[in-house]
Amino acid sequence: MPELPEVETVRRGLEPAMEGKRFIKVEVRRGDLRWPLPKDFAQRLKGTTVTGLGRRAKYLLADLSSGEVLIMHLGMSGSFHVFQETGKAVGSYYHERSKHAAHDHVVFHMSSGATVTFNDPRRFGSMKLVARDKFDAEPLLNGLGPEPLGNAFDAAMLARACKGKKTSLKAALLDQRVVAGLGNIYVCEALHRARLSPKRLASSIADRKGEPKERAKQLVDSIKTVLNAAIKDGGSSLRDHRLTDGDLGMFQHNFLVYDREGEPCRTPGCRGTVKRIVQNGRSTFYCPSCQK
Ligand SMILES: [Zn+2]
């Protein structure tokens, strides 16, 4: 399942094909994604210009000249392919992409000359149109906590959100109301980098008054560092792809703990072994020797 860095990489990949460009034609080959596509979807997009392509948590947001916002989510297996008029693929964004045209559900023909195809074998992805002036009340987005890479997300904010929380620190970080867009992989990696056990109580990063302890600062720094590094990885594979015209998408992620059960810890000086436990039904990978 794509996490925030993958979605940000997709956004950057779509930007040149879509931002400032008009929808010439929209083909809907299959409208029953996670939810049915909005009524008159193709007609509402046709002729409008994408004035900005943004992201909130794992949602892509295309601001339209029609006054609506197109909200897109990749779900479990969604990907976008961008083709230029020459018929040459210029990019495929997201690694679980399927090459089967049978899963090409929505096709945007843009005034840039690019064709942007949404492919999704499992159809957990979604597209929704909402009016810009009703956007703040949009239920998909209005309960979300701050963006982890935004300035609003800092140690003081995280400590306040975790104050008195009797859940594990890992569960708190996966709670989208605490911080938006973090998933299992990057929570495991950030906790490892901060040397904090995923099992410790969420409340232990704050003092009684809800002020951040030093470990809250370490944790916030670690979250920002792992996300930025992953986006940079995605970004560099994007550039490599443009040069070689090969098949983009396979991120060369170098995880420190994620999916490394039984392997040696990579923390310098640590002789621990990466362990897998299950928390709230999901695998957690961590090093019991250096994460306390
Ligand atoms: Zn270790």
Backbone angles phi, psi at 249, to 5 degrees: 130, -35
Rounded distance from Cα 145 to ligand 1 centre (Å):
30
Position 78 scores a pLDDT of 87
Q: Any idea which residues carry the catalytic annotation?
A: 2-3, 58, 282
Cα 263–Cα 267–Cα 273 angle in degrees, nearest 5: 30
Position 91 scores a pLDDT of 61
Position 234 scores a pLDDT of 75
Angstrom distance (rounded) from CA 109 to CA 118: 12
Position 253 scores a pLDDT of 61
Rounded distance from Cα 292 to ligand 1 centre (Å):
10
Rounded distance from Cα 288 to ligand 1 centre (Å):
7
Q: Residues 221, 253, 146, 286: is their CA dihedral positive or negative?
A: negative
CA distances from 290 to 17, 196, 223, 262 (A): 45, 8, 17, 15
What's the per-residue H, E or C state across 271-291? Answer: CCECEEEEECCEEEEECCCCC
Position 93 scores a pLDDT of 55
Per-residue tens of pLDDT for the chain, all 292 residues: 788 988 998 999 899 999 999 999 999 998 999 999 999 999 999 999 999 999 999 999 999 999 999 999 998 888 888 887 655 555 655 544 456 788 899 999 999 999 999 988 888 999 999 999 999 999 999 999 999 999 999 999 999 999 999 999 999 999 999 999 999 999 999 999 999 999 999 999 999 999 999 999 999 999 999 999 988 887 554 433 333 322 333 344 678 999 999 999 999 999 999 999 999 999 999 999 999 9
With CA atoms as reference, report the closest residue to 70 among 139, 140, 145, 127: 127
What's the per-residue H, E or C state across 244-255? Answer: HCCCCCCCCCCC
Angstrom distance (rounded) from CA 260 to CA 70: 38
Taking the model in full, what pTM does it have?
A: 0.87
For residue 283, the tally of other CB atoms under 10 A from its CB is 13
Q: Hunting for tokens 């940079």 — which residue is that?
A: 232
Position 92 scores a pLDDT of 58
Position 245 scores a pLDDT of 29
Position 89 scores a pLDDT of 59
Position 243 scores a pLDDT of 31
Evaluate whether 205 touches 212 at the Cβ level (below 8 Å).
Answer: yes
Evaluate whether 271 touches 265 at the Cβ level (below 8 Å).
Answer: yes
Residue 2, Cα to own-chain centre: how many angstroms?
Answer: 6
For residue 213, the tally of other CB atoms under 10 A from its CB is 14
Rounded distance from Cα 210 to ligand 1 centre (Å):
29
Position 155 scores a pLDDT of 98
What is the pairing mode between strands 59-64 and 275-279?
Answer: unpaired
Position 156 scores a pLDDT of 98
Rounded distance from Cα 234 to ligand 1 centre (Å):
26
Position 84 scores a pLDDT of 78
